Amino acid sequence: MIAPSISVSPDSPFVHRWDPRLKLIGLLLLAFTFSFVSNLRVLPVMIALTLTVVAMSRYPLDLLLRRLRYPSLVILGLIIVLPLISGFTPLVEWGGLTVTREGLQAALLVATRFFCIVTLAAVLLGTTPLLRTVKAMQALGLPYVMADMALLVVRYLEVLSADLRRMRIAMRLRGHVEQRRPWRNLRTLAWLTGSLILRGYERSQGVYNAMRLRGYGHAPVRPGEFTATRVDLLALAAVCAAAGLLIWLELTL
């Protein structure tokens, strides 16, 4: 269930070894700068920047395309509808449908921003293990309530999905057939979900007791798990410069 992340070794490209804290800051900075862009003439620079990061990371292309598949379906509907429902300068009229210039430009802008941000996120987050990303967020000041919850959620997602799989197999073995009319299944679905929640709830008591016995809530947080080298800082400075360039182009072009 958990998205695969690429293993990190000393020979890996720099993007994989970049301090996860600075990587997160860089990613958010670029993503928000991309959201700021609304000038179509800046889009090629944005695409070039994204492709440079992808090339530098040597992230497997098939994995990237797999990561983009589902989000692309979601955005596709909006890209198709936008030229038809918005704007006022008609470009093409066909069978009662009018494609407008403004709508088409908006669709192009939305699609480019979307693919650039999602690609960057897939590459930068996909080259760091998820648990390490959560720890980096904690090091950046994420409250312990949220960091602890996130780490536990990640830890138990696999366990509970396996529970759900087993429960559904058991239901089918006992003769349950999923109906096309949802209301016929609703009670069974509610009980299935309830049983899953109960399993999680009951397991949590044991988890909490075990965590307390191992010193949860008493042991100090390990400082210095992340150390930024000069190269890490230079990479963040390069990202800041790229973001600055995009903002300058947006304001001047």
Partner 1 sequence: MHIPDGILPLPVTLGGYAASMTICWLCIRAINKREDPRADIPKAALLTAAFFVASLIHIPIPPASVHLVLNGLLGALLGVFAFPAILIGLFLQAVMFGHGGLTTLGVNGVILGLPALAAAGVFHCRSRGVADPPSPRRTTVFGFLAGFTGIAFSVLLFALILLTSLPAHLSAAAERSAILALGLAHVPLAVLEGLLTGLLAGFLLRVHPVILDGV
Q: Is residue 91 helix, strand or coil?
A: strand
How far apart, in Å, are the Cα atoms of 142 and each of 78, 147, 148, 150, 153?
34, 6, 10, 10, 15
Question: Comparing C-alpha atoms, which of 223, 228, 240, 222 is closest to residue 18?
Answer: 228
Instruction: Between 45 and 75, name the residue whose CB sits nearer to partner 1.
Output: 75
Task: Using alpha carbons, select from 54, 24, 38 the residue that is nearest to residue 116.
Answer: 54
Contacts within 8 Å (CB) and 24+ apart, 144-147:
144/221
18 binds partner 1 (CB under 8 A): no
Residue 182 in tokens: 């949802």
Interface with partner 1 includes 180 (CB under 8 A)? yes
What gap in Å lies between CA 161 and CA 91, rounded to an integer? Answer: 49
When binding is defined by CB under 8 A, the residue of 47, 68, 131, 249 that contacts partner 1 is 68
Binding span for partner 1 by CB under 8 A among 15-23, 47-55, 62-70, 219-227: 62-70
CB 243 within 8 A of CB 30: yes
Closest approach of Cβ 240 to partner 1, in Å?
Answer: 17
Binding partner 1 by CB under 8 A: which of 86, 99, 131, 226? 86
Give the number of residues in contact with partner 1, rule: CB under 8 A: 89
Which of 189, 231 has the CB closer to partner 1? Answer: 189
Q: Per CB under 8 A, which region of 9-17, 49-57, 103-111, 226-234 contacts partner 1? A: 103-111
Answer for which of 51, 80, 91, 197 binds partner 1 (CB under 8 A) is 197
What residues numbered 200-219 form the site for partner 1, per CB under 8 A?
Answer: 200-201, 203-205, 207-208, 211, 216-217
CB-wise, 208 or 248, nearer to partner 1?
Answer: 208
Tell me if 245 contacts partner 1 by CB under 8 A: no
Q: Which is nearer to partner 1, 161 or 229 (CB)?
A: 161
CB 204 within 8 A of CB 149: no
Give the nearer residue to partner 1 in terms of CB position, either 35 or 52.
35
Identify the three-state secondary structure at position 90: strand
DSSP of 59-118, one letter per residue? --HHHHHHHHHHHHHHHHHHHHHHHHHS-SSEEEEETTEEEEHHHHHHHHHHHHHHHHHH
Q: How far is the CB of 149 from partner 1 (least distance, A)?
A: 4
Contact between 150 and partner 1 per CB under 8 A: yes
Rounded Cα–Cα distance for residues 7 and 129 (Å): 8
Q: Does 182 bind partner 1 (CB under 8 A)?
A: yes
111 touches partner 1 by CB under 8 A: yes
- The C-alpha atoms of residue 122 and residue 67 are separated, in whole angstroms, by 7
Is residue 146 involved in binding partner 1 (CB under 8 A)?
A: yes
198: contact with partner 1 by CB under 8 A: yes
Tokens read off for 4: 């695969």
